[in-house]
Chains A and B, each alone.
Chain A
């Protein structure tokens, strides 16, 4: 998983004096008796690309729609650039949104769709024309200016929708699943373009996605949502390496979870006694808890090493049998069955081009992970 940080020293959320550009304060949205977004509070700073990541139906779109003014708040407050947005209609907000369904005007050509917002601002014709041309070349749609939306493929429509939201260079850009319909290569290119746009225009982005890899690549920070609530906010690295709970650990990348109880709470570590792993797991810098408290330890598959040989002085060591091997090209994924039946997922980078893997089905192997690899998560 790659991680692009736009400017290495731009971490305004660590600065207690920084003023957030977008403040979402205790926002709740109910549809009848159903709570779609519950008590969400977020501070997003100028120039961030903030990703809202979460499964289908967790309230991501609803939150964006409240930011752009299409849904009222049941309670809470939204402040953009110091201005409370309560009562401000969508057409007066400093935001532009790329809709999940694109919502391209079917009776207008690509060109007219993109020019629509600029016309509303009363820009001179010549400037509109150049900006439309520029943005079309940015999304690689130069040849399609005079087509109507129904004459485009899904991915092309998505690019037009993206262009239409970008062209006004709003202070706050809201993208709802902006790259879902693009092929991998174009998606990566566009992600890169988005980061470039962000750097050159200083626009603040809130991007909704359920693709964790995209969130990792794009964002300065990620907010993980489930069932209408934000469960964790952090940089991609923080979210990946220190997931706060099981849901986050599971949602971002794959993970091995070992249930257990806290057996020892030391100065710089905890020991979790895990019958599931058949091991007392050593975990550093973790949350402190009471002895005997039920917790789980999350270990990323790529942090587990396997070998037929002895693993030396690794902190956490186990023995198991190779159950499954999946060759993925750059890496291989192994499923190792422990003697108590628990299966452990291990990813190993394929460093050499050997015809045969050194490990085979049914092999007895040693596996283990470094003391720093595990992280305690609550359920």
Chain B
């Protein structure tokens, strides 16, 4: 036994514990999700049902042992408050709107890019993909800051446009929703391109040829063959952009104006400025459901599909 390589010995031990091959492969991410997703979620969920207090931590416990009574104090007030104050509903809707529009813009820009990369020479593809992910090598914060330099009234864009005489007065771009869209689309575009590329590169050219052969012009082929066949890439890309964009707060904080209302900022304010952890937690939990429900619907819709035939 001792002469066996370490890996095999560990494998044998795990095997005796009933963990081999497939189980192990599934077990590792499951444990990972449990530790880093489920437990924090439960902590946040717990806080969202508590009452805020000036204390450390800044909320009252939800389970107590008082005079021989085991008391559970579940406070739904935080959730009711979210409904009462129109600010929150507006912020949710604002986030979904900004994230949704940004996702669409990213799709419209990202799809042709992914398509071109997938259709270029195989040895050029890696270079082009490198260029797509290159911005990740600098800090996200720095890149968003850099946009301030571009968009501000005496920034690069305005200076350029004024110098060639297209405009006389600087355009107000910074601290508008426009700047937020620019920031979000710019930041999340690679997340749209990569899954689309992975999907489109597998698309067999023969389908496009067959479509053309049967009399379809390129535009028809795109809508009847290319797009339906890359649907899973489109969905993956949109999810990867939409989900983080809904919760985004750095970009609206830096580029957005006072009337740019996104739930990520509200959450930040509740947590750090108001130190109202229970409300902040309730905001986070609701946001999670706002995101999870469409995903579940989508998965359900996709599962239904194969049965249609």
A residues in contact (CB < 8 Å) with B: 68-70, 89-91, 95-97, 99, 101, 103-107, 109, 116-117, 120-121, 146-148, 151, 164, 168
Q: How many A-B residue pairs have CB under 8 A?
A: 60
A90 engages B229 (CB within 8 Å)? no
CB < 8 Å neighbour of B209 from A103, A120, A121, A148: A103
Q: Which residues of A contact B228 (CB under 8 A)?
A: 107
Our pick among A69, A89, A96, A99 for the contact of B206 (Cβ within 8 Å) is: A99
A146: chain B residues within 8 A (beta carbon): 309
Q: Are B209 and A164 in contact (CB under 8 A)?
A: no
Q: Is B56 an interface residue (CB 8 A)?
A: no
B213 pairs with A109, CB closer than 8 A: no
Tell me whether A105 and B225 are in contact (CB under 8 A).
yes
Report if B86 contacts A (CB, 8 A).
no
In the complex, what residue of chain B is closest to A146 when comparing beta carbons? B309
Most A-side CB within 10 Å, residue of B209, B212, B213, B220 = B213
List the A residue with the shortest CB-CB distance to B231.
A107
Which of B204, B214, B225, B309 is in CB contact (< 8 Å) with A117?
B214
Residues of B within 8 A of A97 (CB): 210, 213
Interface residues of B (CB under 8 A from A): 204, 206-207, 209-217, 220, 224-225, 228-229, 309
Residues from chain A with Cβ under 8 Å of B209 in the complex: 70, 90, 99, 103
Contact of A91 among B204, B213, B229 (CB under 8 A): B213
CB distance from B83 to the nearest CB of A (A): 43
Closest 9 CB pairs of A and B: A117-B214, A120-B215, A103-B206, A103-B210, A90-B212, A91-B212, A107-B228, A97-B213, A120-B216
Contacts of B210 in A (CB 8 A): 97, 99, 103-105, 164
How far in angstroms is the closest Cβ of chain A from B305?
10
B309 adjacent to A116 (CB under 8 Å): no
CA distance A187 to B51 in the complex (A): 79
Shortest CB-to-CB span from A26 to chain B, Å, is 25
**Whole-angstrom distance between the Cβ of A80 and the nearest chain B Cβ:** 14
| Further 4 A-B residue pairs, CB within 8 A, beyond A103-B204, A103-B207 | A91-B217, A103-B209, A107-B228, A117-B215
Nearest opposing residue in chain A for B225, CB measure: A105
Residue A95 contacts which of B211, B213, B229 (CB distance < 8 angstroms)?
B213
Point out the residues of chain B lying under 8 angstroms from A148, CB to CB.
Answer: 309
From A91, A116, A147, name the one whose CB has the most chain B CB atoms within 10 angstroms: A91
Find chain B residues with CB under 8 A from A89 CB. Answer: 212
24 A-B residue pairs with CB within 8 Å = A68-B213, A69-B212, A70-B209, A70-B212, A70-B213, A90-B213, A91-B217, A96-B213, A97-B210, A101-B206, A103-B209, A104-B210, A105-B207, A105-B210, A105-B211, A105-B225, A105-B229, A117-B214, A117-B215, A120-B216, A120-B220, A147-B309, A148-B309, A168-B215
CB distance from A61 to the nearest CB of B (A): 11
Interface residue from A101, A107, A109, A168 paired with B214 (Cβ < 8 Å): A168
Which of A95, A104, A107, A121 counts the most chain B CB atoms within 10 A?
A107
Chain B binding surface, main DSSP class:
helix
**Chain B residues within an 8 Å CB radius of A70:** 209, 212-213
For the complex, what is the distance from the CA of A107 to the CA of B217, rounded to whole Å? 19
Q: Within 8 Å CB of A91, what residues of B?
A: 212-217
Cβ–Cβ < 8 Å partners of B224 in chain A: 116
Q: Which B residues lie within 8 Å of A106 (CB)?
A: 207, 229
Closest residue of chain A to B306 (Cβ to Cβ) is A148
Contacts of B211 in A (CB 8 A): 105, 116
Q: Which of A68, A109, A120 has the most CB of B within 10 A?
A: A120
A71–B306 CA distance with the chains assembled, in angstroms: 35
CB within 8 Å for A164 and B309 given contacts A70-B209, A103-B204: no
A103 and B225 CA atoms in complex are apart in Å by: 12
Give the complex CA separation of A151 and B306 in angstroms: 11
CB distance from B19 to the nearest CB of A (A): 35
Q: Whole-angstrom distance between the alpha carbons of A8 and B76 in the complex?
A: 92
Give CA–CA (A116, B224) in the complex, Å.
Answer: 9
Q: Are A120 and B309 in contact (CB under 8 A)?
A: no
- Inside 8 A of A103's CB, which chain B residues have their CB? 204, 206-207, 209-210
Task: Report B-chain residues with C-beta under 8 Å of the C-beta of A168.
Answer: 214-215
Q: How far apart sit A147 and B306, CA to CA, in the bound complex (Å)?
A: 11
When chains A and B are docked, how far (Å) is the Cα of A68 from the Cα of B212?
A: 10
Q: Complex Cα distance A180/B210, Å? A: 19
Rounded to whole angstroms, the CA-CA distance of A95 and B229 in the bound complex is: 25
What is the bound-complex CA distance between A107 and B212, given in angstroms?
Answer: 17
* A121 to B215 CA separation, bound complex (whole angstroms): 7
How far, in angstroms, from A97 to B214 measured CA to CA in the complex? 8
- Bound Cα distance from A105 to B206, whole angstroms: 9
CA distance A248 to B180 in the complex (A): 72
A120 to B210, CA, bound (A): 12
Within the complex, the shortest CB–CB distance from A294 to chain B, in Å, comes to 46
Give the CA-CA distance A246 to B212 in the complex, in Å.
40
Distance in angstroms from B166 CB to nearest chain A CB is 39
Q: Which of A70, A90, A147 gathers most chain B CB within 10 Å?
A: A90
Closest chain-A Cβ to B283's Cβ sits at a distance in Å of 40
* B206 / chain A contacts, CB cutoff of 8 Å: 99, 101, 103
The residue in chain A whose Cβ has the minimal distance to the Cβ of B208 is: A103
Docked CA distance A103–B221 (Å): 14
Inter-chain CA distance A83–B212, complex, in Å, is 19
Docked pose: A117 CA to B210 CA in angstroms: 9
**Contact assessment for A116 and B229 in the assembled complex, using a CB-CB cutoff below 8 Å:** no
Which residue of the partner chain B has the closest CB to A106? B229
Given known A-B contacts A103-B206, A103-B209, A105-B207, A96 and B229 have beta carbons under 8 A apart: no
- Kindly state the separation between the CA atoms of A106 and B231 in the bound complex, as whole angstroms: 13
The complex places the Cα of A106 from the Cα of B211 at a distance, in Å, of 12
Complex Cα distance, B212 from A103, in Å, reads 12
- The distance in angstroms between the C-alpha atoms of A69 and B214, with both chains bound, is 12
Knowing A91-B217, A99-B206, say if A109 contacts B212 (CB, 8 Å).
no
Kindly list chain B residues whose C-beta atoms are within 8 Å of the C-beta of A90.
Answer: 209, 212-213
Interface centre among B220, B224, B229 (most CB of A within 10 A): B224
Q: Is the CB of A116 within 8 A of B214?
A: yes
- How close is A157's CB to chain B, nearest CB, in angstroms? 13
The smallest C-beta distance from A156 to any residue of chain B, in angstroms, reads 15
